[in-house]
Amino acid sequence: MHRLTGLIIALLTLSLAASCIQNDLPYPVDVPVIETITLSTTGAGARPVLLSKTTGTQSDSISVNDISHTVTAIFPEDADLAKVKVGLTFSGELAKTTPYIDGRVFDLRNPLKFSIATWPDQQYNWELVCKQDIEMYFTVKGQIGPSVIDKANHRVLLYVPESADIDNLEVTGFKLGPAEISSYKPALASVSDFSDVVKVEVSSHSRTEQWEIFVEPKAESLEFIPSAWTRKAYFHAEGIEGKESGFRYRKQGENNWIEVPDAAITHQGGVFSALIEELSPLTSYECQAYCGELTADGTFTTEGEEQLPNPGFEVFSNDESSNYKSWFSRTHSLWNRKWWDSGNVASTTVGKEYVICMPDPDTPYEGETCALLYSRYVIVKFAAGNIFSGEFAGLDGTTGGKVNFGRPFTARPEKLSLAIRYTSGKINYIGTAPPGESIKEGDNDRCQIFVALGDWDYRKYGGTPESPVQVNTSDKSTFFDPEGNNVIAYGSFIGDTSIPEWTIVDIPLEYKDMERKPTHIIVSCASSMLGDYFTGSEDSRLWIDDIELIY
C-alpha cells in the first residue's frame, strides 16, 4: 500500500471514529426570565388599552410568577381580549418561544400556553392568563334574593313572589356585558313579560352573545347568615327587593335590641348586608334580619383573641441541644412544647459557635430578654438569622435544608405587632437571587417579617399535620408563595435600613377570603431576607420582642 493511501485511510478512519463520539457533557442550566411583557388591545370607543411590566418593577395589572411559570394580566372590563398584541422579551441569547409570540396578536379569552427553550434539552412551559372582571346584574322590582348570573352559559335566573304579576314586571337594572359598549336586542328596559324565557342578544366588540332570562315564582322567604370573627361579625340576608329591611342584634340574655343603622347596610336587589363592629370576644349574641313582615333569627359566638406562645421569648432552655437555646422548656407550665424553631440545628452541626438565633438579655424591649437573629457565614454557606413557627426538618446534603412552616391556629386577627431593632449590613455574600432581582455586593441587606394564615394540607405541601408547608432551600419551586391558593391572609414587613432604637412595627393582614377559617399560622422572621438564596451580610442583626396579635 502506498504510504499516502495508507495515511488517507488512517485519516478517514479517525474522522469516522470522531463522528461517532458522543458529547456527554450536559448543557449548562439556563432558566429563562421574562424581562418585559406588554399587552395591547382596544377598549370603549376604540381607546388604546396597554398593560406592561418590566423585570424588577411592580405592576398592578401584570404579575409574573417565575416558580409556577405563569403570567397573569388583569384587564379593564371593556378591553377586547379576542385581539391582544403581545410583546415579550426574556433572558438567554439562544432562547426562543414555541409558538413564536413577540409582536403577534392572540385571542386571550382563554389561557395562552407556550414554552421557552434555552438549550435543546431545556424547555420551560409557561401560561399567560388574562382576567377580566365584568360586573353583571339583572334585577326586577320585588324580586326575592339575588339573581343568579351564569356567565359561562349566558343564563340569568331570578325569583319573584308567587303573588307577583309575572306578565308585567318592572326591570330595575341590568348589565350583561362591558360598560359603555354593550347593546341589547330587544332593549331590556322595555321588556315586562317574563311568563316565558326572555331571549336577548348582547353585543360588544362586533361579537354577539345569546342570553336567556328565566323568572320563576317562589314563596316569600328570608335567608339570613351571620359570620362571626373576634370583635366583628358580617350579616348577610336575602329577602325581597323594595321592602323595608335591616338587622338587629343583642348579647344573649339581654332584653334590648341594638338596631343596625340603615347607613351601615348595603342593599342590592333583594340582598342586604352589614358589618357589625365593637363586639366582645368569646361572647354569644342573638341576631335578627327583617324584610317587610318576614323575620329570620340567628345566633353566633365571637372568636377568642388567641395569642402566640412565648411572645417575649422569655422562656428558653438547652432541652433540645447543648449547642444552642430553644424557645421552650419542658419544665415550664405553659410553654413546655416547641412552637418556635430556627436554623440553629443546622448551623451548629459544625460547632456551637455558629448559633444564628439566641436569647439576648442585654437590651430587651420588655422583660428580661429578647430574641437576637444573627446572620453569618457557616463554613460553606451563608446562613440568615431566623426564627419561625414550625420545625426544622433536616439537611439536604450540603446544598440546603428543609423547614416545615406553620402551627395550628384558627383565629382571625387583623394584624401582627412586635418590637424590633435592626442592623442592616452591607451584602458581602451572594448565592443567588429571586428571578428578576438584581443584587450586588455593597447593597444594604434587608430583614423580613411575615405572617400568613391558611388552610394548607400537609399531604399537598410536603410537611406534617402540625407544620404543613415544607420549604427546601435547594428547590426554589417549594419556596413560600404569598399568592398561593391556600393562603387566606398575608402581611409582610421589609426593613432595608438600620433601625437602631426599639420600634413598634404593625403588620396588617390582608384577607383574600372573608369566609374561610384558617387551620394554621406561619410567622417567619429573618435578619437577611434572601437567606433562602444564601445571600446577605454577616453584619446583619435583627432583635425581636413582645409579639402580639391585634384583633
Chain segment 206-216, per-residue pLDDT in tens:
999 999 999 99
In sequence order, the 6+-apart residues with CB closer than 8 A to the CB of 426 are 441, 442, 443, 444, 445, 537, 539
pTM value is 0.73
Q: For residues 296 and 248, is the Cβ–Cβ distance under 8 A?
A: no
Does the pLDDT at position 12 exceed 50? Answer: no
Q: For residues 47 and 41, is the Cβ–Cβ distance under 8 A?
A: no
What stretch of H or E contains 202? strand 198-204
In the numeric block, the cell 342573638 is attached to 286
Distance spanning both ends of the chain, measured CA to CA: 98
Above pLDDT 70, what percent of the chain?
Answer: 94
Does the pLDDT at position 393 exceed 50? Answer: yes
Give 356 or 1, the one with higher predicted confidence.
356
Banded pLDDT at 28 (limits 50, 70, 90): low
The pLDDT, as a whole number, for residue 27 is 64
Calpha distance 388→390 (Å, rounded)? 6
Q: For residues 495 and 373, is the Cβ–Cβ distance under 8 A?
A: no
The pLDDT, as a whole number, for residue 11 is 33
Banded pLDDT at 10 (limits 50, 70, 90): very low
Calpha distance 487→21 (Å, rounded)? 52
The pLDDT, as a whole number, for residue 416 is 98
- Mean predicted confidence (pLDDT) in 501-522: 95
The pLDDT, as a whole number, for residue 235 is 97
The pLDDT, as a whole number, for residue 1 is 42
Three-state secondary-structure class, residue 478: helix
Which amino acid is residue 536, in one-letter code?
G
The pLDDT, as a whole number, for residue 399 is 64
List pLDDT tens digits, range 357-391. 999 999 899 999 999 999 999 877 899 999 999 99
Mean pLDDT (the chain) is: 91
Could you give the count of Cα atoms lying within 13 Å of 154 in the half-sphere of its Cβ? Answer: 12
- Mean predicted confidence (pLDDT) in 320-346: 95
Does the pLDDT at position 24 exceed 90? Answer: no
Q: For residues 67 and 481, is the Cβ–Cβ distance under 8 A?
A: yes
Which amino acid is residue 338, in one-letter code?
K
The pLDDT, as a whole number, for residue 4 is 36
The pLDDT, as a whole number, for residue 20 is 44
Calpha distance 489→492 (Å, rounded)? 11
Closest to 373 measured CA to CA, from 425, 321, 331: 425
List pLDDT tens digits, range 453-464. 999 999 999 999
In sequence order, the 6+-apart residues with CB closer than 8 A to the CB of 411 are 230, 303, 304, 305, 306, 518, 549, 551
> Across 31-35, 67-71, 303-307, which has the greatest mean pLDDT?
303-307
Banded pLDDT at 6 (limits 50, 70, 90): very low
- Mean predicted confidence (pLDDT) in 33-38: 92
Three-state secondary-structure class, residue 26: coil
Give 192 or 67, the one with higher predicted confidence.
192
Calpha distance 117→92 (Å, rounded)? 9
In the numeric block, the cell 320585588 is attached to 142
Q: Strand 245-251's sheet: what is its strand order?
A: 258-259, 245-251, 284-291, 294-301
Banded pLDDT at 269 (limits 50, 70, 90): confident
Does the pLDDT at position 25 exceed 60? Answer: no
The pLDDT, as a whole number, for residue 550 is 97
List pLDDT tens digits, range 175-209. 999 988 999 999 999 999 999 999 999 999 999 99
Does the pLDDT at position 473 exceed 90? Answer: no
- Residue 473 backbone class (left: φ over 0; alpha: ψ -120 to 50; beta: rest): alpha
Give 479 or 468, the one with higher predicted confidence.
468
Got the DSSP string for 111-130?
PEEEEEEEETTEEEEEEEEE
In sequence order, the 6+-apart residues with CB closer than 8 A to the CB of 27 are 119, 120, 121, 122
List pLDDT tens digits, range 519-537. 999 999 999 999 888 899 9
Banded pLDDT at 476 (limits 50, 70, 90): confident
CB atoms within 10 A of CB 42: 16
The pLDDT, as a whole number, for residue 88 is 94
